[in-house]
Structure 1
Amino acid sequence: MMHAHATEHGKRLSQPEIVALLRGRGINPTTQRIQIVRVLFERGTHLSAEDVFRAVNAESHHVSKATVYNTLGLLAEKGVVREVIADPTRIFYDPNTAPHHHLYDEGTGQLTDIDAGEVQVSGLPELPEGAMLQGVDVIVRFRAK
């Protein structure tokens, strides 16, 4: 039987830790980027860009929607967070970049982690010459009866 688990609570990073994390990935640590990373790691859960936008701006900061979307794209590209495309209309940003898979409830829109050891993948296709496997992401989708 497969067991899904959500991250119970986030990890509170200090401003110097966030700055070091961003600089370590070659990202200039602007005030807005620091706020966005703090929200992602404190919540410790899968957030959509809209969730991040609301959370950052709920704290009386004014960060534009474009800045949030661009920053999330940059953070995903640099490996700070993982982009999880649950369905064509739902993209989540996951601060857990360790190998794992996801369980997606199409009815509620909730995404939870599945430990990498709970899923076995076999029979991968041969990759094109010169290509290197970056990972395998499994999303198990379900809907209540």
Structure 2
Amino acid sequence: MTSEYSPQLSSPSAAAVADGPTRDRIIEQLHLHGLKPTHQRVRVAEILMAAPTHMTAEQILAEIRRGGERVSKATVYNTLKVLAQRGLVRQIHLDPERSVYDSTIVPHHHFHDLETGELRDIDPGDIAFSRFPTLPEGMEAEAIEVVIRLRKKRPAEA
């Protein structure tokens, strides 16, 4: 893990954009990752990559529809799947039925508020491991992702 965490896009051409990548930069990123920049891919990427964020597919779909555009739920899910497979966004599995897509693709960790569902980034430099388990035979670690689930403190019992 690196201590140079910055919740920005990791590619040099996109990192220079303070308010998120422009449409042209998103199209460039899609090309660089071997993807055809279809209207739907560009639109989903624009919403997700406008700023460091964590969004569900349903939130992205609602945002697209709020703008008056028609798009199917399957198209949004398929687009997010391919963006994640190509490394343009990170898919975070919060539970078996819910994933969140993270526009910050550099390795980092999260606080997950169980009441609101909100995810907040944790700088990887803020977590230290003193021990790591022995990996199964023939396996290597690809990534370490820590999600710390939070809930409001319960009142102390009298």
Task: Pick the TM interval, shorter chain.
Answer: 0.7 to 0.9
TM-fit CA distance, 1:59: 1.0
Q: Tell me which of 24, 33, 37 is aligned to 2:41.
A: 33
How far apart, CA to CA, are the structure 2 residues paired with 1:125 and 1:53?
A: 41
2:133 partner letter: L
Q: Aligned Cα RMSD in Å?
A: 1.6
How far apart, CA to CA, are the structure 2 residues paired with 1:47 and 1:14?
A: 19
Contact 1:46 1:92 in 2 (8 A): yes
- Percent of paired sites with the same residue: 35
Secondary structure of the corresponding residue to residue 104 of structure 1: strand
Partner of 2:65: 57
5+ residue gaps, structure 1:
1-6
How far apart, CA to CA, are the structure 1 residues paired with 2:137 and 2:144?
A: 16
Contact 1:11 1:41 in 2 (8 A): no
Greater strand percent: which structure? 1
TM-score by length of 1: 0.86
CA shift digits 1:94-133 (9 cap, x unpaired): 000111100001111111100001112331332542x443
Aligned length: 136
5+ residue gaps, structure 2:
1-6, 8-17
TM-score by length of 2: 0.79
How far apart, CA to CA, are the structure 1 residues paired with 2:19 and 2:34?
A: 22
Which 4+ runs in 1 deviate beyond 6 A?
none
